[in-house]
Structure 1
Amino acid sequence: MNVMDFSDVSLVALRVFREVAERGTLTAAAGALGYTQSAVSRQIASLERAARSPLLERRRDGVRLTAAGHVVLRRAVTVLDEIDATARELAGLPAQAGTVRLGWFASAGAVLLPRAVAALRRSHPAITVTTREGATPVLVRALRAGTLDLALLASAPPFRPFDTETPPLVLRTLGERSLRLAVPVSHPLAASDHVDVADLRGQRWIAGPSAGEEKLMGVWPGLDERPEIAHTARDWLAKLHLVAAGCGLTTVPAALAPAAPPGVRIVTVHGGPEERRRLVLARLPRPLPEPAARLADALRAAAADLHGGN
């Protein structure tokens, strides 16, 4: 029986491994840490020697943790969290037991997130919430890597699982949001509260840059033509300001209609299948600390207020 020896494993190697697990590629991890890719590779190699087993499966689109990698990651997260807590205590800083780390997709930060955090601050002012925006794959990996406690994710039909790793994430649907169309107030389509899907042929679109499953976010789904993308932007507010400037059309969740800037009209689209987006709160399958549970309750309440009529 081979006995694994982690006595010489450094904290640097553990931090690098967690970053790789979260970022999904050695290159991205190196960039985030300010290391060279070869330095990251050396740290991973030192861990794999100690484990006497591959921890990463190298693929063309990045890396994926092996079964052994999941075990090492789970233990590494525990060790690093304890080391960080020790450093704070020695520095005379308060413990972070009341801190919750939340990840969220772009449009959640416009209305839902501020409302939930504000409500939590009123009811439980001792709880600190730190947040970060990210694409769905990044947020899912961050949950797995233990650098997020909760993640707000958006899901589109056919509502597939966010990943195939084990154990499966615990998912709670907070609501379903209907999709709307944002048009300039000067555009002919702004004359009515609704338009027909056939009227969208030949329009110019403002969309998010292609990124896997998030390809062409901003174009009405299922168009029977290749859309003309006039502008690309990741930030939904930038898209809406481009709409206000008359640069094209974009899609927007119905819950964001109140946040649309002047010069934008939000309309419904008739014809074709109804487009729905599901708002999901994701976490690892383990008991939630009370601060995280309180934030989850605040998010559910805010979502119920926003999506009750959508």
Structure 2
Amino acid sequence: MDFTDVSLVALRVFRAVAEHGTFTAAAASLGYTQSAVSRQIASIERAAGAELLERRRDGVRLTSAGRVVMRRATVVLDEIDATARELAGLPGQAGTVRLGWFPSAGATLVPRALVALRRSDPGLHVVSREGGTPALVRALRAGSIDLALLASGPPFRAPDDESPPLALQTLTERALRLAVPATHPLARGDFVDVADLRGQRWIAGSLSGADRLMGVWPGLDERPEIAHVARDWLAKLHLVAAGCGITTVSASLAPAAPPGVRILPVRGGPRELRRLLLARLAHPPSDAVTRVAAALRAAALDSETPGASSPLS
């Protein structure tokens, strides 16, 4: 086992593969060919004398040896990045927190927390990015982000089965809601009966993959008619406002709904709960990460209060 000849390029490629989950996606993110990525991974595995990635049909995942190397590689890469930031006169890593969040969290929760942090901790620098739960979990494991806001639905399993488990905290648990056009017959009352969802036109997620039916009420006892497909939550809500169909939304999106949309609870059938989770690696967090986590918890609590102020007020 000899790491003396392992390059920073190989370490960055290794982290990109761990974060993106496939050689193809990692190559695209780095601007490399897939064969170049494969060569870099082969070189670091030769140096380790062990297989660092488990190759599977749906992608790759870190082996136990891979997790050890990833943990050490993250320290090295973060130190190099911190040096570059310091030389460029940018905020030091000690005062920087990298936050990942699922799409609808960017509507109200993340802006509200960032506004509060600008007031209470003006020296704290937060950089953030949007992503789906699998991508954010991989980024946490790869050390590319420090905190992640994740959405979770029943049966509320852990977001992955890696060891050690992620440190998870439930910020909110709220019932899934329905977005309907204000002129739609379903919008006449203060709630929608689940029996009235049959025969509706739906605005759903992508045509393939795990999010294919996101936007359709869970457990619907018919084959849904999907009129439009959109992954972006704002696009979905504007399609609803235009009278193009109905869709499911997190309760937290109610303050961000455009004119012409009503966000309503659904009565009848099993209660569809959704949790907002704050996730990080199991090791003790830095002071900066602790302060950002506290701001996110406060923003989540504020969002639970009726009549909560807008994120930029």
TM-score category, normalised to shorter length: over 0.9
Q: Contact 2:99/2:127 (CA < 8 Å) preserved in 1? A: yes
1:30 equivalent in structure 2: 27
Shift of 1:161: 0.7
Structure 1: give runs of 5+ residues left out of the alignment. Answer: none
Distance 1:118 1:155 in 2: 25
Shift of 1:93: 4.2
Q: Contact 2:96/2:125 (CA < 8 Å) preserved in 1? A: yes
1:217 equivalent in structure 2: 214
Assess, with a 3 A threshold, how the Cα gap between structure 1 residues 210 and 286 changes in structure 2: closer, same or farther. farther
Secondary structure, aligned partner of 2:288: helix
- Of the three residues 260, 265, 270, the one matched with 1:263 is 260
- Of the three residues 237, 240, 244, the one matched with 2:237 is 240
Please state if 1:158 is matched with 2:155. Answer: yes
Shift of 1:133: 0.2
Shift of 1:214: 3.1
- Of the three residues 280, 286, 294, the one matched with 1:297 is 294
Please state if 1:105 is matched with 2:102. Answer: yes
Distance 1:59 1:125 in 2: 45
1:40 equivalent in structure 2: 37
Shift of 1:185: 1.5
Q: Contact 1:176/1:307 (CA < 8 Å) preserved in 2? A: no
Please state if 1:252 is matched with 2:249. Answer: yes
Shift of 1:39: 0.3
1:76 equivalent in structure 2: 73
Distance 2:102 2:85 in 1: 30
Q: Contact 1:177/1:307 (CA < 8 Å) preserved in 2? A: no
Secondary structure, aligned partner of 1:97: helix
Shift of 1:308: 4.8
Assess, with a 3 A threshold, how the Cα gap between structure 1 residues 211 and 136 changes in structure 2: closer, same or farther. farther
TM (normalized to structure 2)? 0.95
Shift of 1:195: 1.8
Distance 2:296 2:191 in 1: 30
Bigger mean CA deviation after superposition, 236-245 or 253-262: 253-262
Secondary structure, aligned partner of 2:258: coil
Distance 1:123 1:87 in 2: 27
2:199 equivalent in structure 1: 202
Distance 1:81 1:229 in 2: 45
Shift of 1:186: 1.7
Cα displacement string for residues 218-256 of structure 1 (whole angstroms, at most 9, x for unaligned residues): 111110011111111111111000001110000111221
Distance 1:130 1:91 in 2: 17
Shift of 1:193: 1.3
Cα displacement string for residues 12-57 of structure 1 (whole angstroms, at most 9, x for unaligned residues): 0000000000000000000000000000000000011111111111
For 2:242, give the aligned amino acid: A
- Of the three residues 123, 126, 131, the one matched with 2:123 is 126
Q: Contact 1:172/1:280 (CA < 8 Å) preserved in 2? A: yes
For 1:185, give the aligned amino acid: A
For 1:102, give the aligned amino acid: L
CA RMSD, 1 decimal: 1.3
Please state if 1:173 is matched with 2:173. Answer: no
